[in-house]
Structure 1
Amino acid sequence: MYRLVIDANKRGLNLNLRELLQYRDLFLILAYRDLRVRYAQTFLGLLWAVIQPLATLVIFTLVFGRAIKVDTGDIPYPLFAVCGMAAWSYFAFVLGQSGNSVISSQEMIKKIYFPRLVIPLSKALVGFVDFLIALLFIVILLFFYNYSPSSNIVFFPFYVVACIVSALSVGIWLSALTIRFRDFQHIVPFLVQFGLYATPVGYPAEIVTSNLPQWAIFLYYLNPLAGIAEGFRWTILGGEMPSQYSYISLIIVLILFVSGLFYFRKVEKIMADIV
């Protein structure tokens, strides 16, 4: 039997990631609960997971593909856009859900002990519903336009993992910060809305960065999903390799993820008192 000892006098930060494995059943239960609640008592049910990205794709096609006429080379615009949307939809969902995740579970936090990190992590699992549907759109459009995936598809798992880590890194930070500063409940929806257009989802990054000085390009790629969205599209559709600046996004993701884990563990000690 697993024996848990909570020492109030223990100093320092210990991630204790092994403890998360011991609470994996709770992790799955929370994810299943969120998935059921998300579509409970809705007329269309899981169809909402199809309608939302489809509506976004139609709007992007009309605005960027038809009105602005973004140049995507020989790649059909809907296919170009949906590849960026696949990465963004997952990131946006985890970002939006993680901010209030701990606050919405405050009654459970006050009553029992469990690693609080399980709560934002469970949101990452629920987000896979949107991610898988976006991938289904990609497959359908590849067949519709008779477009073969590039040989770069071998790097696809790497960018999927990078997308997951990027979503978790920002989500963990927001879930911890929202406990102390409730203003983030209002900031997160703005970040999601602004980030959709600040990230190269419906347009190539070159449109923004082509005439910018190096310092401005560096600032652009501080967006953790800027380089990942580029790489995600490159693995599926081919073309030129992502900009060398895209590696800045990957470095930012690692920094945010590691620092977010330590900050969350620090706040976790007093979470039940301030929630």
Structure 2
Amino acid sequence: MEKLVVDASKPKWHINLKELWAYRDLFYILAYRDLRVRYAQTFLGLLWAFIQPLATLLIFTVVFGKVAVVDTSGVPYPLFAVCGMASWSYFSFVLNQSGNSIIGAQEMVKKIYFPRLVIPLSKALVGFVDFAIAMLFVVILMIYYGFIPSANIIYLPVFIILTIISALAVGIWLSALTIRYRDFQHVVPFLVQFGLYATPVGYQAKDVIKRLPDWGSFLYYANPMAGIVEGFRWSLLGGDPPSIFAYFSFSIVILLFITGLLYFKRVEKVMADIV
């Protein structure tokens, strides 16, 4: 790759973007490698990408749709759940993969220079496979139940972008923290498991916050995906708009993204020495 000439007179954000663009080929190569390796030497191959969300949907349908009987405002429960799963599946994949991404690429990090941010960013690209499959389930169930998307679908791109930013924000933070504190390798699976139930994927957020005081609602929406999943489902199915507390979730997303980039940049300087 050609040597990148850095103009110190330009803002730091501009330098970062220019450098990332210069290494875009490496970004695509890493994403393609991860995509190929993900289901390599498996009997079912790509079918696992369909089986995993389908199994989760079946569990949610039995637990929340049949046993707990969650209020879905008239929407068939499988459709209600899969709309929540669509954004969560992307977030959870990026979270899982980004946490150990730098450690997994430590040999490359030690030997050559490249912007280390390329590594967690490449995981975000691979995660679109899970997202596309979840959205395929959404379309199939809408056709099956004869459900017409709401007019709010014009806001869907906004919530998709927020999902991507949220996944990158937490993923970048974890990838940098895991280098210094290896305990986070064990924390990430717990966060994903806990987050699935702490996020309104299989139920409505309003059923939770109506039982909480205001401070409890803020705590619930400190989960960056709480407001996003709520808004994602609203943009597809209509119904009540996201709670006013959802805007707190959106603020947390932006805060995590900015601080995550700053912390990653700080750790990047010594990454090759401590990885």
Give the aligned residue type for 1:4: L
Checking the alignment, whether the CA contact within 8 Å between 1:14 and 1:265 is kept in structure 2 is no
Q: SS state of the match for residue 208, structure 2? A: helix
Checking the alignment, whether the CA contact within 8 Å between 2:4 and 2:19 is kept in structure 1 is no
Checking the alignment, whether the CA contact within 8 Å between 1:172 and 1:260 is kept in structure 2 is yes
The residue number in structure 2 matching 1:98 is 98
Q: Whole-Å Cα distance in 2 between the matches of residues 72 and 130 of structure 1?
A: 24
Deviations along 1:122-180, whole A, 9 cap, x unmatched?
00000000000000000000000000000000000000000000000000000000000
Within 5 Å, which residues of 2 pair with 1:106-121?
Answer: 106-121=106-121
The residue number in structure 1 matching 2:242 is 242
Q: Whole-Å Cα distance in 2 between the matches of residues 82 and 4 of structure 1?
A: 44
Question: Is residue 2:96 matched to residue 1:70?
Answer: no
* Superposed displacement of residue 3, structure 1: 3.2
The residue number in structure 2 matching 1:86 is 86
The 1:210–1:64 alpha-carbon spacing in structure 2 relative to 1, beyond 3 Å, is same
Q: Count matched residues.
A: 271
Deviations along 1:70-127, whole A, 9 cap, x unmatched?
1112100000000000010000000000010000000000110000000000000000
Within 5 Å, which residues of 2 pair with 1:1-275?
Answer: 2-4=2-4, 14-15=12-13, 16-275=16-275
Checking the alignment, whether the CA contact within 8 Å between 1:173 and 1:260 is kept in structure 2 is yes
Checking the alignment, whether the CA contact within 8 Å between 1:101 and 1:175 is kept in structure 2 is yes
Q: Whole-Å Cα distance in 2 between the matches of residues 164 and 19 of structure 1?
A: 21
Q: SS state of the match for residue 66, structure 2? A: helix
Q: Whole-Å Cα distance in 2 between the matches of residues 14 and 270 of structure 1?
A: 18
Q: Whole-Å Cα distance in 2 between the matches of residues 229 and 201 of structure 1?
A: 7
Deviations along 1:210-259, whole A, 9 cap, x unmatched?
12111110110000000000000000000111101000010000000011
* Superposed displacement of residue 4, structure 1: 3.2
Q: SS state of the match for residue 166, structure 1? A: helix
Checking the alignment, whether the CA contact within 8 Å between 1:166 and 1:224 is kept in structure 2 is yes
Checking the alignment, whether the CA contact within 8 Å between 1:103 and 1:179 is kept in structure 2 is yes
Give the aligned residue type for 2:12: N
In the TM superposition, structure 1's runs of 4+ consecutive aligned residues that sit over 4 Å from their partners are: none
Q: Whole-Å Cα distance in 2 between the matches of residues 55 and 17 of structure 1?
A: 39
Give the aligned residue type for 1:189: P
Q: Whole-Å Cα distance in 1 between the matches of residues 64 and 4 of structure 2?
A: 55
Deviations along 1:5-37, whole A, 9 cap, x unmatched?
69xxx9xx9342211011110000000000111
* Superposed displacement of residue 2, structure 1: 4.4
Give the aligned residue type for 1:14: K
Q: SS state of the match for residue 12, structure 2? A: coil
* Superposed displacement of residue 207, structure 1: 1.5
Q: SS state of the match for residue 59, structure 2? A: helix
RMSD of aligned alpha carbons: 1.5
- Give the TM-score normalised by structure 1: 0.96
- Give the TM-score normalised by structure 2: 0.96
Checking the alignment, whether the CA contact within 8 Å between 2:73 and 2:239 is kept in structure 1 is no
Give the aligned residue type for 2:186: H
Where structure 2 has 5 or more consecutive residues not aligned to the other structure, the ranges are none
Q: SS state of the match for residue 182, structure 2? A: coil
